[in-house]
Amino acid sequence: MKYPGDLGAATDDEVLAATRLWLEKAVIELDLCPFAAPVHRAGRVRMRVSAQRSAAGVLEDLRSELLDLAAADPRECETTLLIHPHSMCDFFEFNDFLADCDSLVGRLELEGELQVASFHPRYQFAGTSPEDIENFTNRSPYPTLHLLREASISRAVAGPADPADIYRRNIETLRRLGHSGWRRLWNDEH
């Protein structure tokens, strides 16, 4: 199988399937987020594909998803992935858009309750080259906004894992895996 981000034009079902595959094979199997597996296994991750083709449209979908998540029972829906395959495919445009996301959380008076994390097929940390393997810790098949509950993060961070250690461990995991190992994740034989 090709890496999900190489699918090109895809239906909503294909976008969801590629995102689910990425969540299971990269995020959970590589243990990039040690808190993802229990929430995913419990079926408390909502995934929504946005049909929007502009930043303003995605921001409106984000507004709706933030309000829905804030109102949802965390035992039913812990977190949301808002996937927008038709907008902000350029990483730098997407990265600039994240300030608008944070501003929206503030305008909705959800600071301290919800936050937005980001994933992108071309994710690039400051000070890295585009193909440096450590960037792949935040590479998803499609531009994705991850809506998280602050209370969930606090509970997770209160556990044995130090968030800074997770970041460093993820980079080491990807460095050991390398580009060839990353590509092998998407082979049907794996």
Q: What is the pLDDT of residues 88-112, one digit of tens each?
A: 999 999 999 999 999 999 999 999 9
Domain count, the chain: 1
Residue span of the structural domain in which 37 resides: 4-185
Other beta carbons less than 10 A from residue 31's beta carbon? 14
The model carries a pTM of 0.90
105 found inside a domain:
yes
Of the CA atoms within 13 Å of residue 78, those in its CB half-sphere come to: 17
pLDDT tens-place string over residues 58-85: 999 999 999 999 999 999 999 999 999 9
- Whether 16 contacts 142, CB under 8 Å: no
100 found inside a domain:
yes
190 found inside a domain:
no
95 found inside a domain:
yes
- Whether 79 contacts 146, CB under 8 Å: yes
Per-block mean pLDDT, blocks of 10 residues, the chain (190 long): 55 95 94 87 96 96 98 95 96 96 98 95 95 95 95 66 78 94 77
